[in-house]
Structure 1
Amino acid sequence: MKPEMITLKHGDTTIKMPAASLAKLAVASVFAQVLPPAANVQPAHLHSVPGLGSVWPGQGGFNGGLVAARGDVPEHYLIIAAKDVGDREWGPRGVEVKGLSKTDGYTNTQVLIGNDDESKHPAADACAEYQADGNHDFYLPAAAELYHCWLSVPELFAKDAWYWSSTQRSANFAFSMYFVDGYQSNCGKNGELRVRPVRRLFI
């Protein structure tokens, strides 16, 4: 069965086309008039990234900025928990934990909470137990991650306290950060310092 044809004439020009095709063109023309220009040319964005230091809905905290890929860890956003989890000890003095990193707080935290020498690491434990917006993959940031926070969003941290990192200095000391001026130091592991969980958002 041949499709129904429609003939259009304008001046000396004559166009023949199937009626169904003409109907599609008419509908498209209507939408082009109704929708704003941007609706026709802008691609849809699956993710909307909030401003630096702003709450990231559904992610459990604030946007701490983009972190470049390093080693086996792909590029990601650092999500900073909305609140501190108190003042905690890092762990016992005199115990050197093997396999800790200056940059990878997630792996550090897994090592500390999974340590089989019966030593307790309250700061790492508190971060691993923290949950927000259904996310339960928070960890104690490494020294480099705390420095990233100071560079990107220092206003999110208290200025009257030192914060623990998950990076170890020696058997007796671990690295900490002071957010007034970005100074990093090492403190005795049995001292109670402020603790802030973070997590990663891979996009």
Structure 2
Amino acid sequence: MTQVAQQTIAAADLPERGQPLAGGIFATRYWLNGEERALVQLDAELIGAWGEYGVKIPGADSYSDGEANTRAMAEAGSQIAIKALELGAHIPSCLEGQLVMAAKADGLVTLREDRFHWLSTQYSAYYAYNMDFEDGWLGSYGKDSERVVRPVRSLPIR
């Protein structure tokens, strides 16, 4: 079942960073594809493989657009991508993962430090990016390995 998530937010209605917003915690403002957006870290946690090892997924290569990557992953059959979209959210891109890490470093969000987290940005047919939220290490790993996903929402600011 797909959850209906808040679609946009007025700039005047944005809370302080670290405060509740759209079913999660407001991490930061950022620009994506020429549009200012609010990044929201959800409390949900998914675990699974990114996708099939050796299969390059067209449209899952964006360094910044996690929603586009996640949709491409879901169309290719990725179960964690499908689950993230069902939450009205997506798997963070490399950029969004780094913004979440900055919010964690500022004490605004809490993330597991004992596991690597998948990001939606594909590195190659064999690897996808992941992040260690203990110290912000960004790397890549085999797509067929299980990792944690902490979905995010990205709301256009009006």
TM range (shorter): 0.7 to 0.9
Structure 2 unaligned segments of length 5 or more: list them.
1-9
Mapping of residues 21-100 of structure 1, within 5 Å: 47-56=12-21, 59-67=22-30, 69-70=31-32, 72-85=33-46, 87-99=47-59, 100=61
Residue 143 (structure 2) pairs with residue 189 (structure 1): yes
Counterpart of 1:42 in structure 2 is none
- Distance in 1 (CA, whole Å) between partners of 2:95 and 2:154 is 14
Residue 85 (structure 2) pairs with residue 128 (structure 1): yes
Distance of aligned partners of 1:170 and 1:53 in 2 relative to their CA distance in 1, 3 Å threshold: same
Residue 98 (structure 2) pairs with residue 147 (structure 1): yes
Q: Which amino acid aligns with 1:162?
A: F
1:156 counterpart (110, 115, 118): 110
Specify the structure having the higher radius of gyration (Cα). Answer: 1
Q: Which amino acid aligns with 1:188?
A: G
Any idea what the Cα deviations from partners look like across 1:14-62, whole Å, max 9, x if unmatched?
Answer: xxxxxxxxxxxxxxxxxxxxxxxxxxxxxxx984432322222xx1111
Counterpart of 2:6 in structure 1 is none
Query: Do the aligned partners of 1:53 and 1:153 also contact (CA within 8 Å) in 2?
Result: no
Instruction: Tell me: higher relative CO, structure 1 or 2? Use CA pairs within 8 A at least 6 residues apart.
Output: 2
Question: How far 1:153 moved relative to its partner?
Answer: 2.6
Q: Which runs of 4+ in 1 moved over 3 A?
A: 45-48
| TM-score, structure 1 as length reference | 0.66
Residue 65 (structure 2) pairs with residue 108 (structure 1): no
Question: How far 1:110 moved relative to its partner?
Answer: 1.3
1:156 alignment partner, SS class: coil
Question: How far 1:81 moved relative to its partner?
Answer: 0.8
| TM-score, structure 2 as length reference | 0.83
Q: Which amino acid aligns with 2:52?
A: P
Q: Which amino acid aligns with 1:82?
A: D
Query: Do the aligned partners of 2:51 and 2:73 also contact (CA within 8 Å) in 1?
Result: no
Quick check: which one's strand share is greater? 2
Any idea what the Cα deviations from partners look like across 1:149-188, whole Å, max 9, x if unmatched?
Answer: 1012354211111100011111111000001110011111
Aligned residues: CA RMSD: 1.8
How many residue pairs are counted as aligned between the two chains? Answer: 144
